[in-house]
């Protein structure tokens, strides 16, 4: 018996059409369509594409929720051993769709998933979440991409442990895996140095964690005339978490009015954060979002005014790109509201 | 190296209490390795200078229960680089799986000895001489 | 300075009444080795007994707890002798001719402290991770005298000296043997080098030495490295035992004396010397506990790199945690002098590989070679014979409760294996 695979492709690879047909709704077809043939050939009968889901890129982008629900239903019914999407190469919306539908299948159905795309495809933002094979930037790379994906897919279906990213051809997903190189470390170091000295490209074996240094603004001259806002990644929300901010990997932030609120009571506020012991934050939410002290400062004239709104999210495993996106949006609101400075608390 | 009169040893290692010359100030508490790091972090945040690396020694933090760190006796101004070192040390501590083993009395003594010797090395003291003095006192 | 190494390939070791090297076989009279070790007063004072064993590649043998690994060598021409300042008298080494008993090592083993560590498996999955499984090992197991508990410094010293003496004794057997092959290594003066290789980039090796204290020491010409300032060495000096290990902790990334004698960075830089680069010298710098020492030592590394007009440097590390700070300080300061760096380290990324690998980091460290994740879990099957003792396996670094299982197998992190994630780049192990 061979492994069962469901394949996801877009309208272009299903030969429906290009951009002009990107609006087509998802459809389920039996067996392979388009690039699925290359996968089947590589698997030589050990695994087979039993169904192909075709969806227009615009449709997925504009109706993501509906598209996901429909596709998940179909995938579930097929009881596959693996869900594979793409490869999307450098097609941005296709890559986005592949990565996101894979994430949904993995999270909701617990089915192993795999996709492939060019490393600069926006869909590759999910590389720490979904296994993504690194491909060339155009469909001309299909001849290489399909066998590479097929090989890694077979490993996943057999439940074999993954090799290091450079061995198995997937994008570095932040999990360090040991393997034996061909040359010893000292020789690799000398070769790397020679390249660096000759201004040739070289690849570090351990990319340093990236640091985003933000230059501080000029100090506020007179705090007593300043409007100060307070924001947090510590997950403080009105009791009941009305906007359903996730306890980890938050997808959005909340905006809440604290005009007239003297202190955050445990009756009215709580934390949505799932990454620390919430007892102390729930007992007294001011510990994370110090509204009580800021009100005192306001009364004593140390600060001019506490801004009427606070912005909050959960910083627990939340993607840096998402966090940046939230902040860019509400920073604009803060600017428009004439806020002079922000206190950002973390946990 | 700072004068012994300007430094304070934060430790949970009883051997350090008995093994340092009198002019050294030792702040001993029977707390965990991690609690020592946190205590040092709070001191550094309060402006005390950090004089020795909190992860001294290649003995992994989930193996040895003992840790000694040298800070200034009086607060100055917080040094960002030192705050970064102690914060990173706590993060490193946390990535090791907690040790579950029961340590025999002899192994505890050995861990105390290594921590003590590393501290002496940092302070420019002769650990072997210090230990001889302690051993002689016992006789 | 020019040194010729004459390699005598050892293909077997046997106990014998007479000590000699003949047709690639080392014959050893263990009693003579013992007598030679006991000639030292410290050894006499602290070591109760020695036992000897031989471990060959492929045998079902586990050696533990390993203290040091040493390659027997003997100076046959030129000034000085092996391990200057410790065994031979202080004299600048690194020139003339040295014979090397290749393919073998003296391994010292036995408990010093209760958490003593280091495993060399001669076969099975563990053997892939240690370079010493490929050698014929003459193993010296030391047993302390009563009352050593209060004198561990002295005992560690005695065992270190004993190992060096055993290697010296065996190395001496190669003095009059015709080497199977030989190789020459030459380092020119600064001006000569520039004149000879005007177009090649000038490269040095910044060699960081473990220097934190008891069980974490390195000696340079007999001087404790933590009492040294960053300085310059001819690369060939390390081949004659100028640097030796007193480091017993963190088996996977400690540099044994064998590593110092056969420093892979030195070898690979010599391989490119005169071709793609001009190998100028070694800069040795320590890894002290005191932060001001770190500051000073790394300042000096950077200063020497600039003074030597270097274009590039390879930096290697030793040990876990604290040295990450020295590594990053060195790298940052050297890069800021306009000298390009490549660094060699290893990682503690957690058993799941998901944690931050180093305790310190900087964007200027953009060219990193890794010796792998030391937290990787491995199962070492029961082997037929143990040289040394297993009673400490449960407590060695990377072991954890239950690591010695009832069937005799060991579940542990590769940290426990001697030399597994070496930070001089001795091995092919890596990680991504």
Q: For residue B106, how many C-alpha atoms fall within 13 Å in the half-sphere facing its CB? A: 13
**pLDDT value at residue A274:** 83
Could you give the CA distance from residue A146 to residue A137 in angstroms, rounded to a whole number? 14
- Which of B52, B114, B119 minimises the CB distance to C113? B114
Cβ of C294 within 8 Å of Cβ of B122? The answer is: no
Could you give the CA distance from residue A118 to residue A138 in angstroms, rounded to a whole number? 8
Residue C79 DSSP label? S
Report yes or no on A87 lying in a domain.
yes
Q: Which residues, given as ranges, of chain A have pLDDT below 70?
A: 211-212, 317, 319
Cβ of A194 within 8 Å of Cβ of C424? The answer is: no
Could you give the CA distance from residue C328 to residue C346 in angstroms, rounded to a whole number? 13
Between A142-158 and A36-43, two packed helices, what is the crossing angle to 10 degrees?
60
Chain A interface, best mutation among C332, C342, C348, C357, by max A CB count within 10 A: C342
Could you give the CA distance from residue C410 to residue C390 in angstroms, rounded to a whole number? 10
Cβ-based contacts of C349 with chain B (< 8 Å): 95
Q: Is a pLDDT exceeding 60 seen at residue C398?
A: no
Answer whether C389 touches A (CB < 8 Å): no
Q: Over range C14-39, report the average pLDDT.
A: 98
Could you give the CA distance from residue B101 to residue B111 in angstroms, rounded to a whole number? 14
Residues A158 and A19 in one domain: yes
Residues of chain C numbered 137-176 and touching chain B (CB < 8 Å): 149-154
In the structure encoding, which two tokens stand for residue A44, read together? 């030589």
- Which of C128, C340, C344 minimises the CB distance to A185? C344
Give the pairing of strands C278-287 and C231-233. Answer: antiparallel
**pLDDT value at residue B138:** 65
Cβ of B101 within 8 Å of Cβ of C153? The answer is: no
Let me know: does C418 contact C68? Beta carbons within 8 Å.
Answer: no
**pLDDT value at residue A15:** 94
**pLDDT value at residue C324:** 94
- Which of B92, B100, B118 minimises the CB distance to C289? B118
Q: Is a pLDDT exceeding 80 seen at residue C21?
A: yes
Query: Who contacts A95 (Cβ-Cβ below 8 Å, separation ≥6)?
Result: A86, A88, A89, A117, A118, A121, A122, A123, A124
Q: Is C305 a catalytic residue?
A: no
Backbone angles phi, psi at B106, to 5 degrees: -65, -40
Q: Total domain count for chain B? A: 1
Answer whether A21 touches C (CB < 8 Å): no
Answer whether C299 touches B (CB < 8 Å): no
Cβ-based contacts of C199 with chain A (< 8 Å): none
Q: Total domain count for chain A? A: 2
CA angle A304, A310, A311 (to 5 degrees): 140
Please provide the size of chain B in residues: 139
**Exposed, middle or buried: residue A28 (CB in 10 Å: 0-12, 13-18, 19+)?**
middle
Report yes or no on C286 lying in a domain.
yes
Residues A32 and A157 in one domain: yes
Q: How close does chain A come to C59, measured CA to CA in Å?
A: 23
Number of Cβ atoms within 10 Å of the Cβ of A140: 10
Cβ-based contacts of B109 with chain C (< 8 Å): 114, 149
Q: How close does chain B come to C306, measured CA to CA in Å?
A: 24
Residues A9 and A118 in one domain: yes
Answer whether C360 touches B (CB < 8 Å): yes
Q: Which residues, given as ranges, of chain B have pLDDT below 70?
A: 99-101, 138-139
- Cα dihedral angle (B43, B46, B49, B54), rounded to 10 degrees? 30
Residue of C nearest to A194 (CA): C276
Residue range of the domain that includes A157: 3-168
In the structure encoding, which two tokens stand for residue C30, read together? 């263990």
Let me know: does A4 contact A84? Beta carbons within 8 Å.
Answer: no
Chains contacting B with at least 3 CB pairs below 8 Å? C
**Cα–Cα nearest to B70, from B21, B133, B111, B16:** B16
Positive or negative, the CA dihedral C96, C99, C103, C106 is negative
Report yes or no on C86 lying in a domain.
yes
Let me know: does B89 contact B55? Beta carbons within 8 Å.
Answer: yes
Let me know: does A342 contact A229? Beta carbons within 8 Å.
Answer: yes
Instruction: Dump strand ranges (E) for A92-207.
Output: 113-118, 132-135, 178-180
**Cα–Cα nearest to B54, from B17, B1, B11:** B11
Residue of B nearest to C216 (CA): B57
Identify the helix (H) or strand (E) that includes residue A191: helix A185-197
User: Radius of gyration (Cα) for chain B, nearest Å?
Assistant: 15
SS3 per-residue string spanning C179-248: CCEEEEEECCCHHHHHHHCCCCCEEEEEEEEECCECCEEEEECCEEHHHCCCEEECHHHHHHCCEEEEEC
Report yes or no on C422 lying in a domain.
no
Report yes or no on A109 lying in a domain.
yes
**pLDDT value at residue C161:** 97
Q: Is a pLDDT exceeding 90 seen at residue C414?
A: yes
Could you give the CA distance from residue A31 to residue A11 in angstroms, rounded to a whole number? 16
**pLDDT value at residue C397:** 52
Between B105-123 and C152-172, two packed helices, what is the crossing angle to 10 degrees?
80
- State the residue for tokens 């009105």: A238
Task: Please write the tens of the pLDDT for every residue from A43-77.
Answer: 999 999 999 999 999 999 999 999 999 999 999 99
Q: Is a pLDDT exceeding 80 seen at residue C251?
A: yes
Residues of chain C numbered 376-415 and touching chain B (CB < 8 Å): 394-395, 397-398, 400-401, 415
Report yes or no on A249 lying in a domain.
yes
Could you give the CA distance from residue C331 to residue C312 in angstroms, rounded to a whole number? 11
Q: Total domain count for chain C? A: 1
- State the residue for tokens 């690994």: C69
**pLDDT value at residue C193:** 95
**Cα–Cα nearest to C314, from C273, C359, C354:** C273
Let me know: does C400 contact B99? Beta carbons within 8 Å.
Answer: yes
No. of H helices and E strands in chain C? 8, 26
Please report which confidence band the pLDDT of residue C401 belongs to, taking 50, 70 and 90 as the band edges: very low
**Cα–Cα nearest to C67, from C287, C211, C244, C266:** C244
Q: How close does chain C come to A333, measured CA to CA in Å?
A: 33
Please provide the size of chain C in residues: 432
Which one is predicted more confidently, A9 or C389?
A: A9
Positive or negative, the CA dihedral A12, A16, A19, A24 is negative
Residues A156 and A277 in one domain: no
Q: Which residues of C292-314 are buried (b: 16+ CB within 10 A; e: fewer)?
A: ebbebbbebbbebbeebebbbbb
- Which of A178, A189, A193 minimises the CB distance to C431? A178
Q: How close does chain C come to B95, measured CA to CA in Å?
A: 6
Residue of C nearest to A202 (CA): C367
Could you give the CA distance from residue C87 to residue C75 in angstroms, rounded to a whole number? 12
Let me know: does C418 contact C256? Beta carbons within 8 Å.
Answer: yes
Report yes or no on C427 lying in a domain.
no
User: Radius of gyration (Cα) for chain A, nearest Å?
Assistant: 25
Given C248, C252, C281, C305, which residue is catalytic? C248
**Cα–Cα nearest to C320, from A295, A196, B92:** B92
Report yes or no on A200 lying in a domain.
no
Chain C interface, best mutation among B19, B50, B58, by max C CB count within 10 A: B58
Cβ of B95 within 8 Å of Cβ of C360? The answer is: no
In the structure encoding, which two tokens stand for residue A125, read together? 């933002």
Cβ of B104 within 8 Å of Cβ of C415? The answer is: no
- Which of C341, C353, C356 minimises the CB distance to A209? C356
- Which of C113, C291, C349 minimises the CB distance to B53? C291
In the structure encoding, which two tokens stand for residue A69, read together? 């629900």
**Cα–Cα nearest to C259, from C424, C79, C106:** C424
Cβ of C395 within 8 Å of Cβ of B59? The answer is: no
**pLDDT value at residue C389:** 87
Report yes or no on A176 lying in a domain.
no
Q: Is a pLDDT exceeding 90 seen at residue C379?
A: yes
Residue range of the domain that includes C171: 2-416
Answer whether A164 touches C (CB < 8 Å): yes
Could you give the CA distance from residue C15 to residue C312 in angstroms, rounded to a whole number? 48
Cβ of C342 within 8 Å of Cβ of A178? The answer is: no
Let me know: does C238 contact C260? Beta carbons within 8 Å.
Answer: yes
- State the residue for tokens 């560690």: C156
Q: How close does chain B come to C393, measured CA to CA in Å?
A: 12
Which one is predicted more confidently, C344 or C400?
A: C344
CATH number of the domain within which A88 lies = 3.40.50.2300
Answer whether C296 touches B (CB < 8 Å): no
Number of B/C CB contacts below 8 angstroms equals 154
Q: How close does chain C come to A281, measured CA to CA in Å?
A: 26
In the structure encoding, which two tokens stand for residue A243, read together? 């906007």
Give the residues across from C9 on adjacent strands: C102
Backbone angles phi, psi at C410, to 5 degrees: -125, 130
Could you give the CA distance from residue A173 to residue A203 in angstroms, rounded to a whole number? 16
**Cα–Cα nearest to C96, from C169, C196, C185, C7:** C185
Residue of A nearest to C354 (CA): A175
Among A136, A168, A200, identify where a domain stops: A168
Cβ-based contacts of C319 with chain B (< 8 Å): 58
For every residue of C325-348, DSSP letters joined together read HHHHHHHHHHHHTT-EEEEEEEE-
Residue of C nearest to B120 (CA): C213
Task: Please write the tens of the pLDDT for every residue from C100-143.
Answer: 999 999 999 998 887 777 999 999 999 999 999 999 999 999 99
Which one is predicted more confidently, C359 or C178?
A: C178
Residues of chain A numbered 198-227 and touching chain C (CB < 8 Å): 202, 204-211
Report yes or no on C430 lying in a domain.
no
Residues A278 and A157 in one domain: no
Answer whether C359 touches A (CB < 8 Å): no
Let me know: does B2 contact B51? Beta carbons within 8 Å.
Answer: yes
């Amino acid at each position: 018996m061979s492994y069962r695979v469901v394949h996801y492709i877009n309208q272009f690879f299903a030969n429906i059409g290009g951009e002009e047909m990107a609006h087509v709704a998802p459809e389920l077809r039996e067996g392979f369509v388009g690039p699925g043939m290359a996968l089947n050939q590589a698997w030589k009968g050990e695994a087979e594409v039993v169904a192909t889901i075709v969806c227009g890129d615009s449709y997925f982008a504009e109706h993501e929720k509906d598209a996901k629900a429909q596709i998940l239903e179909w995938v579930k019914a097929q009881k596959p051993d693996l869900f594979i999407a793409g490869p999307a190469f450098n097609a941005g919306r296709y890559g986005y769709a592949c990565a996101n539908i894979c994430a949904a299948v993995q999270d909701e159905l617990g089915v192993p998933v795999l996709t492939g795309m060019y490393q600069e495809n926006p869909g590759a933002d999910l590389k720490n979440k979904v296994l993504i094979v690194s491909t060339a930037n155009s469909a001309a790379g299909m001849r290489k991409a399909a066998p590479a994906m097929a090989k890694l897919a077979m490993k996943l279906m057999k439940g074999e442990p993954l090799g290091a990213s450079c061995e198995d051809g997937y994008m570095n997903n932040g999990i360090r895996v040991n393997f034996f190189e061909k040359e010893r470390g000292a020789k690799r170091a000398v070769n790397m140095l020679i390249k660096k000295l000759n201004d040739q490209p070289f690849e570090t074996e351990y990319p340093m964690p990236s640091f985003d240094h933000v230059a501080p603004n000029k100090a506020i001259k007179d705090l007593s005339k300043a409007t100060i806002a307070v924001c947090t990644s510590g997950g403080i929300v009105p009791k009941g978490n009305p906007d359903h901010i996730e306890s980890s990997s938050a997808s959005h932030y909340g905006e809440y009015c604290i005009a007239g609120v003297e202190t955050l009571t445990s009756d009215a506020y709580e934390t949505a954060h799932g990454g620390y012991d919430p007892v102390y934050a729930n007992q007294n939410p001011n510990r994370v979002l110090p509204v009580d002290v800021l009100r005192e400062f306001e009364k004593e004239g140390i600060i001019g005014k506490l801004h009427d709104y606070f912005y909050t999210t959960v910083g627990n495993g939340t993607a840096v790109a998402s966090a940046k996106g939230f902040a860019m949006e509400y920073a604009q609101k803060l600017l428009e509201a004439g806020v002079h400075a922000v206190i950002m608390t973390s946990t | 190296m700072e004068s012994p009169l300007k430094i304070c040893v934060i430790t949970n290692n009883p051997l350090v209490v008995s093994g340092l010359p009198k002019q050294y100030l030792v702040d001993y508490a029977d707390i965990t390795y991690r609690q020592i790091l946190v205590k040092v972090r709070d001191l550094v945040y309060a402006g005390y200078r950090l004089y020795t690396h909190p992860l001294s020694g290649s003995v992994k933090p989930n193996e040895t229960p003992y840790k000694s760190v040298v800070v200034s006796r009086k607060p100055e101004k917080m040094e960002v680089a030192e705050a970064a070192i102690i914060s990173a040390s706590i993060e490193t501590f946390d990535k090791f799986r907690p040790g579950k083993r029961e340590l025999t009395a002899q192994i505890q003594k050995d861990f105390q000895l290594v921590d003590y010797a590393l501290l002496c090395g940092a302070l420019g003291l002769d650990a072997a001489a210090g230990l001889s003095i302690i051993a002689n006192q016992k006789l | 300075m020019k040194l010729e190494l004459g390699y005598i390939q050892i293909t077997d070791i046997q106990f014998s009444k007479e000590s000699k090297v003949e047709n690639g076989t080392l014959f050893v009279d263990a009693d003579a080795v013992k007598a030679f070790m006991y000639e030292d007063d410290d050894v006499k004072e602290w070591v109760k007994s020695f036992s000897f064993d031989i471990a060959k590649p492929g045998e079902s043998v586990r050696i533990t707890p390993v203290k040091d690994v040493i390659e027997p060598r003997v100076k046959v021409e030129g000034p000085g002798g092996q391990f200057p300042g410790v065994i031979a008298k202080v004299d600048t080494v690194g020139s003339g001719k040295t014979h090397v008993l290749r393919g073998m090592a003296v391994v010292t083993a036995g408990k010093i402290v209760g958490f003593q560590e280091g495993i060399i498996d001669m076969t099975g999955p563990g053997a892939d991770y240690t370079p010493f499984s490929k050698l014929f090992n003459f193993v010296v197991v030391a047993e302390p005298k009563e009352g050593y508990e209060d004198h561990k410094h002295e005992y560690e010293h005695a065992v270190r000296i004993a190992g060096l003496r055993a290697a010296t004794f065996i190395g001496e057997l190669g003095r009059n043997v015709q080497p199977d092959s030989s190789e020459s290594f030459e380092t020119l003066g600064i001006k000569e080098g520039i004149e000879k290789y005007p177009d090649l980039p000038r490269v040095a090796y910044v060699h960081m030495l473990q220097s934190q204290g008891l069980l974490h020491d390195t000696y340079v010409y007999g001087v404790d490295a933590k009492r040294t300032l960053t300085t310059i060495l001819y690369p060939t000096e390390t081949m004659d035992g100028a640097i030796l290990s007193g480091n017993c902790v963190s088996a996977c990334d400690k540099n044994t004396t064998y590593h110092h004698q056969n420093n892979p960075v030195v070898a690979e830089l010599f391989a490119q010397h005169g071709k793609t680069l001009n190998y100028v010298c070694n800069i040795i710098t320590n890894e002290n506990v005191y932060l001001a020492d770190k500051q000073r030592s790394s300042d000096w590394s950077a200063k020497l790199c600039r003074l030597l007009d270097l274009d590039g440097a390879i930096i290697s590390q030793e040990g876990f945690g604290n040295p990450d700070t020295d590594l990053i300080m060195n790298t940052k300061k050297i890069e800021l002098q306009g000298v390009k760096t490549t660094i060699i380290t290893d990682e503690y990324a957690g058993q799941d590989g998901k944690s931050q690998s180093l305790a310190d980091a900087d964007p200027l460290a953009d060219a990193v070679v890794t010796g792998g994740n030391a937290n990787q879990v491995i199962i070492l099957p029961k082997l037929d014979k143990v040289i040394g003792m297993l009673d400490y396996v449960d407590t060695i670094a990377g072991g954890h409760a239950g690591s010695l299982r009832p069937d005799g197998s060991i579940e542990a992190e590769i940290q426990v294996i001697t030399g597994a994630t070496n930070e001089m780049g001795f091995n092919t192990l890596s990680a991504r």
